A and B are shown apart, each in its own frame.
Chain A
Amino acid sequence: MTMVEFFSFLPYGKYAFYVWLAYGVSTLTIITLFVTAKRNHSKTLRFLQNKYSRS
């Protein structure tokens, strides 16, 4: 059984695997960019806080 056949129970039948894979990859990329940006901001704030508390 191929991946295409396995996922054909989802909406869009024989195209379900491709459609949901495309939307999944895009969601993952968008979330990764968002989480990275937020984490970098928090890390920068912590770094600057430590720097200012030492001085």
Chain B
Amino acid sequence: MWKWIQRQASPKVFYSTCTRLIPWFFWPFISFLIIGLYWSLVVSPADYQQGDGYRIIFIHVPSAILSMMVYAVMAIAGGIGLIWQIKMAEVVAKVSAPIGAGFTIIALATGAIWGKPMWGAWWVWDARLTSELVLLFLYLAYMSLNSAFDNPKTAAKASSILAIVGLINLPIIHYSVVWWNTLHQGYSVGTGGIKDPDMQIALALMFVASIFLYALYVSIKARTEVLVREQNSRWVQEEVRSLVS
């Protein structure tokens, strides 16, 4: 396993691994999504307080968790690239940013849509909502900084430092509902979270689907990034010619 991971440092090996993994991520994503949606929208009962409005949490909670998880992956990959100069770690960090921003946008948008019927407001400057918005700004700052340099090495260095510094926001988001009196409810998963087994299954299915979706996006986007970075290599020329012909 360790040897396999080490081999992924080679752009050519990493590119072919991504190509091979795409269907292995795509079909589980589709399967989990279909079953997850069925469980979320049909099987799960209505909530005794929130009625059917609570069904938004089946996309809100997984995307909120993924928004933080992807950021952690991005910062760790950036750190690996920074310390061990592994170019493929830089690639993973770079392609994760827009995906993480996408999950954050979904979490913020679905949260706002849920907030209107439950709180009577689309948005409040609550600690959880504000720290999640800061996460979106961190993603945008990372992407802007990464595209501000012509040299990919300098871009990766600068943006990785930003990503690592921004890690401080993750515990703030997670513990915001404990540290401050927030309008946002407490944890949806674990102690004090949802109790109904069907609701838990629906949430778990949608969470697994989201992880496969992230892996799928990384595989697709990383292939493009590797082709751009390694465009002067002979293997890329051969690969492009074989794909086009």
Contact = CB atoms under 8 A, between A and B. Distances in A.
B partners with A: yes
A26 B110 contact: yes
A22 B228 contact: no
Interface of B: 41, 51-53, 55-56, 59-60, 63, 98-99, 102, 105-106, 109-110, 113-114, 116-117, 213, 217, 220-221, 223-224, 227-228, 231, 236-237, 240-241, 243-244
Given A30-B102, A45-B243, A52-B241, A21 B117 contact: no
Given A22-B109, A26-B63, 10 more contacts: A11-B41, A13-B52, A18-B56, A25-B110, A26-B109, A29-B102, A32-B102, A37-B217, A38-B220, A41-B224
Given A22-B109, A33-B217, A49 B240 contact: yes
Given A37-B221, A44-B227, A18 B113 contact: yes
User: Main SS of the interface on chain B?
Assistant: helix
Contacts of A12: 51-53, 55
A17 to B, nearest CB: 9
A34 interface: yes
Contacts of B240: 45, 48-49, 52
A53 B109 CA distance: 45
Chain A, interface size category, equals 20 to 34
B56 A19 contact: yes
B51 A25 contact: no
A23 B213 CA distance: 16
Interface in A39-55: 40-41, 44-45, 48-49, 51-52
Contact of A22 (B56, B221, B227, B237): B56
Contact of B52 (A15, A23, A49): A15
Given A12-B52, A19-B53, A22-B109, A33 B102 contact: yes
B57 to A, nearest CB: 10
Contacts of A33: 98-99, 102, 217
A36 B99 CA distance: 11
A11 B224 CA distance: 41
Contacts of B105: 29
Nearest to A51: B231
Given A18-B114, A25-B106, A26-B110, A45 B53 contact: no
B223 A22 contact: no
Contacts of A14: 51, 117
A18 B236 contact: no
Contacts of A4: 117
